[in-house]
Structure 1
Amino acid sequence: MRSLTTGYCKLLSPLRLTAVSCRCLSSNELKMPPCDFVPERYESLPYEHVVEVRKKNLSAALTTYYSKPLLLHQGHMQWLFDHEGRRYLDLFGGIVTVSVGHCHPKVTEAAKKQLGRLWHTTNIYLHSPLHEYAEKLTSRLPGKLKVLYLTNSGSEANDLALYMARLYTGNYDVISLRSGYHGASPYTLGVTALSAYKPGVANGFGCHSTMCPDVFRGIWGGSHCRDSPVQTTRTCSCSAGSCEAKERYIEQLKDTLDTSTARRIAAFIAEPIMGVGGAIQYPKGFLKDAYQLVRERGGLCIADEVQTGFGRTGSHYWGFQTHDVMPDIVSMAKGIGNGFPMGAVVTTEEIATSFARSLHFNTFGGNPMACTVGSAVLDVIEEDGLQDNCNTVGTYLLLELSKLRDKFEIVGDVRGKGLMIGVELVTDKKTRQPLPAEKLNVIWENCRDNGVLLGKGGLYNNIFRIKPPMCIKKEDADFAVAVLEAAINKYLDTAA
């Protein structure tokens, strides 16, 4: 195995600070790709004081990553820098939020100009950024999805989408998929089907979950189910043009509709690829059949694009397009603003009109700053070719990660599309028993020590979530895979 050096080169003086790619690594090991960006010297609160403030003045509900939490100071494109000048490849993008790159120059410049012109006015007044953005964003959605509501977060967006569906249909019951995450507001907690997020008090009435169509860990799955360059290693005996797994999971949805809801429902909400649930992909055709069942019951179909939207899947701009479906309502957030707090709901004129029967108001939704940033993000996605980059680099990264699955018994599954990727760790491939979270953490921490930041997720917290800024390059992918491989080797050597 390669030897790892966790130390870094000393920065001799703030005045002599050079591009922080000077990690002191021995001759045969992991070399971080170069970066010519020079971070500013950190001159704020000492690390120990920050930790103390965290304990005293911030809610204990706010968890931190890593045994020794990172104190981040600056970001540039796919890179983050801590208070000591160490550089990290960010493969989690602020929880799938940094879409075009940390502090992208064009987005930053647009924000600065608007900051000097008009920070805030509510949407009771006309202002150009709102109307320019509304036209620009809706032009990127197909069909009749042309009416926009702007919010401040994904939870708000999904909350509004559910409310809108209930108003329009006159029905109440909502269906979601187990292991799905849609937010933490009282409404959205009902459709979030992960117990870790449930507070144990009444919330989300009228919400029901159906079996998650997970073709790796679920009851059914085969070797041709996913829209991904990497399939499961499960055997598949389906005849051409058929998918037994899809049919079985649809039967479970029918059973939920027959036993848990009224005969007519309000909505079905699903992510095109699960985010917090661990990049779970459904059998091809599942969402299409699910949408048909829901509409037969009078319900609307909501596509939660909070993590999959804006080109991240590579082949399409929106995740729902990869399933050949047309939702009635689309919710979005996170990458919409590259880290600026904003979200949106887009629907049809007919559904939007029914929603106008009562006054709806959002003080900050559609404010000039958010709309200016959002507009610049849309421009950069096109100008920098980021959707194509997701397709090219994402496919390359998936295939390289699949080699780790072939090499290591504990790498049970690699899946995803574009730069929406999951790597699931197991105790062994035969039983698919999840690797305990504390063991996964050893690998995760080692990756951090060697300059790669990964997310975690899944029902058992045994899945690495890889959703980086969409500007990463192939050499970054090579570095990330090498670091992960070395971390797994180190873990196995220690565990032996």
Structure 2
Amino acid sequence: RLHTHNFDIISLRGAYHGGSPYTLGLTSLGPYKHGVANGFGCTTTMLPDVFRGPWGGSRCRDSPVQTVRKCSCPEGVCHAKDQYIEQFKDTLNTSVPKTVAGFIAEPIQGVNGAVQYPRNFLKEAYQLIRERGGICIADEVQTGFGRTGSHFWGFQTHDVVPDMVTLAKGIGNGFPMAAVVTTKEIADSLAQNLHFNTFGGSPLACVVGAAVLDAIEEDGLQKNSEDVGTYMLLELAKLRDKFEIVGDVRGKGLLIGIEMVTDKDSRCPLPAEEVGQIWEDCKDMGVLIGRGGLYNQVLNL
């Protein structure tokens, strides 16, 4: 907002960007919303979810595993992406002024269950935002540091260059640490007035972060994410084809979501209690996994 002199920021439905009074407005997951003032100047737009959304096909995602939905798109064309971009344009035309401050998105939605967008959606969305004077922010808290396997940063898989990147989790391997990376021009805008953080730039945190970066490179963890993640995705897809309640397997590298449904035709979320029983059974067998999704219906690996 300081840099662009605009106010409105757009995020995707299903996104999780934090729980502070400001970032809570960008978060669009009901279970994480609290009854406090938030969201002033924040607008959400349709999530381009090719499994659960109105449009999707069998070749939309940058993943070894696609949805089981049919696809009639010719080579090089994605009608689902085109439809979701039209919805994005509709939000820009109806819900915000002619100029916007920015757009924030995770390269793959983490808390919402490893939701992936159609190829080129993010690239076209970035272009539309920049045409309206806004900056583009990549939330790499869950996707960064080689987790997607093919690239070190999740945004690289979308062939985009954001103006700002938020980092955490993987940067410290359990140590409480986060960072924001941006351009010099945007950073200079913040320096117009005094801004400081009591615990910012901690030497201890920097040493931890540097050691994690060394380990990622020396131990080949990015390649491990790609190799192990691809194997797991392909094997999990076999379970999806075998069991009616496994609606979708998706992800990239070691960011994987298994969406549980009552049946594949309706795609109705499996009740949270039943998903919880599967989750507990996995834990009893020594497999620790997470849960996500709007209805807590996704098993996260």
Structure 2 length normalisation: TM-score?
0.99
Where does residue 214 of structure 2 map in the other structure? 379
Distance in 2, Cα, partners of 1:192 & 1:354:
25
Where does residue 4 of structure 2 map in the other structure? 169
SS in 1 for 2:2: helix
What amino acid is the match of 1:243? C
Where does residue 146 of structure 2 map in the other structure? 311
Instruction: Select the residue among 354, 364, 377 that pairs with 2:189.
Output: 354
Where does residue 158 of structure 2 map in the other structure? 323
Query: What is the deviation of 1:355?
Result: 1.3
- Does structure 1 residue 365 correspond to structure 2 residue 195? no
- Does structure 1 residue 189 correspond to structure 2 residue 24? yes
Where does residue 211 of structure 1 map in the other structure? 46
SS in 2 for 1:223: coil
> Within 5 A, what are the aligned runs for 1:104-123?
none
Structure with higher RCO (Cα < 8 A, 6+ apart)? 1
Instruction: Select the residue among 83, 87, 97 that pairs with 1:252.
Output: 87
SS in 2 for 1:232: coil
Distance in 2, Cα, partners of 1:202 & 1:349:
32
SS in 1 for 2:248: strand
Distance in 2, Cα, partners of 1:342 & 1:266:
26
Stretches of structure 2 lacking an aligned partner (at least 5 in a row) = none
> Within 5 A, what are the aligned runs for 1:406-445?
406-445=241-280
> Within 5 A, what are the aligned runs for 1:2-401?
166-401=1-236
Where does residue 485 of structure 1 map in the other structure? none
Task: Check conservation: 2:141, 2:170, Cα contact below 8 A.
Answer: yes
Where does residue 35 of structure 1 map in the other structure? none
Query: What is the deviation of 1:322?
Result: 0.2
Distance in 2, Cα, partners of 1:417 & 1:365:
32
CA-to-partner distance for each residue in 1:52-103, whole Å, 9 max, x for gaps? xxxxxxxxxxxxxxxxxxxxxxxxxxxxxxxxxxxxxxxxxxxxxxxxxxxx
Structure 1 length normalisation: TM-score?
0.60
Task: Check conservation: 2:15, 2:28, Cα contact below 8 A.
Answer: yes
Instruction: Select the residue among 278, 281, 292 that pairs with 1:446.
Output: 281
Where does residue 455 of structure 1 map in the other structure? 290
Distance in 2, Cα, partners of 1:315 & 1:187:
33
What amino acid is the match of 2:296? N
Deviates more, 1:439-448 or 1:221-230: 439-448
Distance in 2, Cα, partners of 1:210 & 1:178:
6
Task: Check conservation: 1:454, 1:465, Cα contact below 8 A.
Answer: yes
Distance in 2, Cα, partners of 1:250 & 1:447:
38
Query: What is the deviation of 1:292?
Result: 0.4
Stretches of structure 1 lacking an aligned partner (at least 5 in a row) = 1-165, 467-496
SS in 1 for 2:38: coil
Task: Check conservation: 2:108, 2:114, Cα contact below 8 A.
Answer: yes
Query: What is the deviation of 1:262?
Result: 1.0
CA-to-partner distance for each residue in 1:245-297, whole Å, 9 max, x for gaps? 00000111111111111110001000000000110000000000000000011
- Does structure 1 residue 402 correspond to structure 2 residue 219? no
Identity across matched positions, percent: 72
Structure 1 runs of 4+ with >2 Å offset: none
CA-to-partner distance for each residue in 1:299-354, whole Å, 9 max, x for gaps? 00000000000000000000000000010000010111001111011011111111
Where does residue 100 of structure 1 map in the other structure? none
SS in 2 for 1:330: strand
Query: What is the deviation of 1:429?
Result: 0.3
Distance in 1, Cα, partners of 2:123 & 2:109:
16
Distance in 1, Cα, partners of 2:242 & 2:75:
30
CA-to-partner distance for each residue in 1:8-37, whole Å, 9 max, x for gaps? xxxxxxxxxxxxxxxxxxxxxxxxxxxxxx
Distance in 2, Cα, partners of 1:203 & 1:433:
30
Query: What is the deviation of 1:204?
Result: 2.7
Task: Check conservation: 2:21, 2:36, Cα contact below 8 A.
Answer: no
Distance in 1, Cα, partners of 2:286 & 2:176:
27
Query: What is the deviation of 1:201?
Result: 2.2
What amino acid is the match of 2:111? V
SS in 2 for 1:452: coil
Query: What is the deviation of 1:368?
Result: 1.2
What amino acid is the match of 1:378? L
Query: What is the deviation of 1:392?
Result: 0.4
CA-to-partner distance for each residue in 1:149-206, whole Å, 9 max, x for gaps? xxxxxxxxxxxxxxxxx11000000000000000001110000001111112211310
Task: Check conservation: 2:168, 2:177, Cα contact below 8 A.
Answer: yes
Task: Check conservation: 1:342, 1:365, Cα contact below 8 A.
Answer: no
Task: Check conservation: 2:113, 2:299, Cα contact below 8 A.
Answer: yes
Query: What is the deviation of 1:441?
Result: 0.7
Distance in 1, Cα, partners of 2:273 & 2:249:
20
Query: What is the deviation of 1:377?
Result: 0.2
Task: Check conservation: 1:303, 1:329, Cα contact below 8 A.
Answer: yes
